[in-house]
Amino acid sequence: GWLTLLLDFGIFGFLIYVAPLAYLLYVARSFETVVMVFSIIFINSMLTFSYGVVGGFMYWTIVSVLFKEVIADRKRLNKAVRLQ
């Protein structure tokens, strides 16, 4: 999966798929988000999300949902810090 992405799309194409996951791991506060990111990494090791319409749609839908959760968590944390 990941090797196929790297060989077919080059370094830039590979980074388009890896950068959002790396950022989510960097800013994730919840255990569920980390588990989902590692699940995506593991699943993409066997199946490549970049091929076909459904695979790409599933990958980017999951990543966008995780980004929304991380943004909501950060807003909640900022609000709690301001209240203190």
Find out whether 1 and 48 touch, Cβ atoms under 8 Å: yes
Question: Is the whole model's pTM more than 0.85, yes or no?
Answer: no
Q: What angle do CA 76, 82, 84 make, to 5 degrees?
A: 110
Beta strands in 1-84 (DSSP E): none
3-state secondary structure of 58: helix
C-alpha separations of 20 from 5, 15, 24, 41 in Å: 15, 8, 6, 11
Residue 5 has pLDDT above 80, yes or no: no
More confident residue, 48 or 7: 7
Average pLDDT over residues 12-30: 85
Assign 55 a pLDDT band (cuts: 50, 70, 90): confident
**Position 71 pLDDT exceeds 80:** yes
